[in-house]
Structure 1
Amino acid sequence: MLPTDRPRRNRKSQVIRDMVQETRLTAHDFIFPLFLIEGHSQRLEVKSMPGIYRYSADTVIDEVGRCVELGIKAFAPFPSISDGLKDRLARESANLDGLYLKAVADIKRQFPDVVIMTDVAMDPYSSDGHDGVVDVDSGEILNDASLEVLGQMALAQARAGADIIGPSDMMDGRVAWIRDVLDSNAFQHVSIMSYTAKYASAFYGPFRDALDSAPKKGDKKSYQMNPANRREALRELALDETEGADMVMIKPALSYLDIIREVKDRTNLPVTAYNVSGEYAMVKAAALNGWMDGERTMMEVLLSIKRAGADAILTYFAKEAAEVLRKG
């Protein structure tokens, strides 16, 4: 018996395929991570991330301008600072005249309509390379001592002009702590996008190359989540909602599409996902070797993340994907 139900009828032409397409990408979906370095007139490619650069504060302005022309309006800068500015309490993180906060203020001054999401974690500024304060005797990451540092970091970022604070540290209670610090200092309008489920992933390697922020000793498994766990992400979600997060994030994205969907189904908050450096590097490496069509693979990856439930995507593909979308 020949089939009577024929789904292929909805695939028979490009016009029909476009008409019934369920998930669509736009440049407004993207948050573009940017790497900042000290110096002047610097634009240095990250070796493990072809097509991604580290910018000095002056050249990053030009890059933001190019992205805005493509329709990208949200950016997530990350700093790489010299070891001489690092200490165990990450004091440089609150320096309004330092590389990071000055660059944030400069971007907002030049482009007042863009959204800047800043990163709250100690590792770029820590001499230990960890996201929290390290006990000098035991090596333990001290949760409650870290909250004070993270709160002051978030406050300094708000003063510099950050629109969204992104706590990526995974310390317990940090969303409530940061919300209280911001509200107590008249920054009630500043949002918190919590890294709700940040897994202890092998996909972060190129990012740590770009910022030279790998831990000096140990690893991050006592605060980042076990990649084997699903229900734990929902526990973290419940805590973040209670503590006052405005948006939640899953990191990484591509290997955690199931977690994105689980979280999306259980919250009314916007869900974001971080398509991380290792996920980017894999696609780029395969494309450069001629093993895959880089453009098609990039767009499929991003589409899969949005289809899984992400309302916004932090991705190093943002600029390249926006160019593809502009071509139509």
Structure 2
Amino acid sequence: MDNAGKSQPENPISVLVFSVSVCLKSTIMFPTVRPRRLRYNPVLRDMVRETSLSVTNLIYPLFVTFGHNVKRPIQSMPGCVTESVDVIAQSAKEIHTLGIPAVILFGIPEHKDEKGAGAYDPDGVIQRAVKEIKHAVPELFVITDVCLCEYTSHGHCGILENGQILNDPTLELLAKTAVSHVRAGADMPAPSDMMDGRVLSIRTALDTEGFASIPIMSYAVKYSSAFYGPFREAAESTPAFGDRKSHQMDPANRREAIKEAAIDLEEGADILMVKPALSYLDIISDVKRAFNVPVAAYNVSGEYAMVHAGARLGWIDYEKVMMEVLLSIKRAGADLILTYFAKDAAKLLG
């Protein structure tokens, strides 16, 4: 049977390999076949571009704290700041003006305790910030990170007992946190804790409280990565002891990502996130191929800091590398990209 009579495989990679093999077996080759014909003209290059990046794909992370007129630079993340609630609306207006459709909020409370009570306090830092932003820029889509690590005195993501994180008792607090954010006006909670059953717990709580229309963006595939260092400085969430390997995923595991994503979908997640992004492009691609839902990817602080460091030393072109990084994440399959590059990228994208 010739190639025309064969049925093509459904897997996108298999289809690509199949197509290339058909092309190579064809009798029509160079000089008749010249792929560079589609590259000579810049207009045509744009017309046949396979992947496009838009400002509407971007989500900008904001760090918010208490205090007055606080705009504290984050040393390891050039261009990023920790802001107080009273000035957060200014940043929200700037972000909206740039065309960026959404922000995700991370809170640094005044006080921390063993159970992270500041996370679900109706008058907490995130709850206040959400109200300020929605009052100033109601069109801006506000996502809130749901975790306890920034609010606990020990810096871990749940309730501790004898040095161990208690999964099930933590779920109630995560659900309370998500509900309190939505009551304040948040458009979507994003649980990042990686406790088993957290999406179901949050979905059930939201539905019970009358928020059935509120979507959940789950940090479904979150690896125990070395790229989080600058973020932990910014969010003041470095664990007082130990690490987070008991709940965040092993960077060596690929198949497990599909399992985690499938569980979160079954529990009610609407958007699946992969974190980090740049070192896990294969995982983004796997998740996108496996599930017919929007996929988000978090271009994390360490990835951001490396580009800035290289540019500061004059070793790379900041804008070109930034855009190539973002394009690679989109090409891998991400529909949404959480990135500290969002404002700079938006200025270039227009």
Kindly report which structure 2 residues correspond to 1:222-301, keeping only aligned pairs within 5 A, or say none. Answer: 222-301=246-325
Which residue in 2 is equivalent to 1:128? 154
How many residues are matched?
A: 322
Answering whether residue 104 of structure 2 is matched by residue 76 of structure 1, we say: yes
Question: Normalized against structure 1, the TM-score is what?
Answer: 0.96
**Root-mean-square deviation over aligned CA pairs:** 1.0
Extract unaligned runs of 5+ from structure 1: none
Q: Could you tell me which residue of structure 2 aligns to residue 90 of structure 1?
A: 116
**Is the Cα contact below 8 Å between 2:88 and 2:132 reproduced in 1?**
no
CA distance in 2, matches of 1:70, 1:245: 29
- Does the CA-based 8 Å contact 2:74-2:80 persist in structure 1? yes
Report how far residue 124 of structure 1 moved: 0.7
Q: Which amino acid aligns with 2:131?
A: A
What residue is the counterpart of 2:58 in the other structure?
30
State the shift of 1:320 in Å. Answer: 0.4
Equivalent residue for 1:18? Answer: 46
Q: Distance in 1 between matches of 2:87 and 2:49?
A: 39
Matched, 1:114 2:140: yes
Q: Which protein, 1 or 2, shows the higher relative CO under an 8 Å CA cutoff with sep ≥ 6?
A: 1
Q: Secondary structure at the match of 1:191?
A: coil
Cα offset, 1:269, TM superposition: 1.1
The structure whose Rg is larger is 2
| TM-score after normalising by structure 2 | 0.90
Q: Could you tell me how far 1:73 is from its partner in structure 2?
A: 1.6
SS of 2:338 mapped into structure 1? strand
Moved more, 298-307 or 43-52: 43-52
The code of the aligned residue for 1:169 comes to D
Q: How many Å separate the matches in 1 of 2:186 and 2:215? A: 9
**Cα distance in 2 for residues equivalent to 1:2 and 1:264:** 35
| Identity of matched residues, % | 53
Q: Which residue of 2 aligns with 1:319?
A: 343
- For the Cα contact (< 8 Å) 2:109–2:118, is it kept in 1? no
Shift of 1:147: 0.4
SS class of match (2:135): helix
Query: Do residues 103 (structure 1) and 129 (structure 2) align?
Result: yes
Query: Which portions of structure 1, spanning 4 or more consecutive aligned residues, are displaced by more than 3 angstroms?
Result: none
Distance 1:65 1:157 in 2: 20
| TM-fit CA distance, 1:2 | 4.8
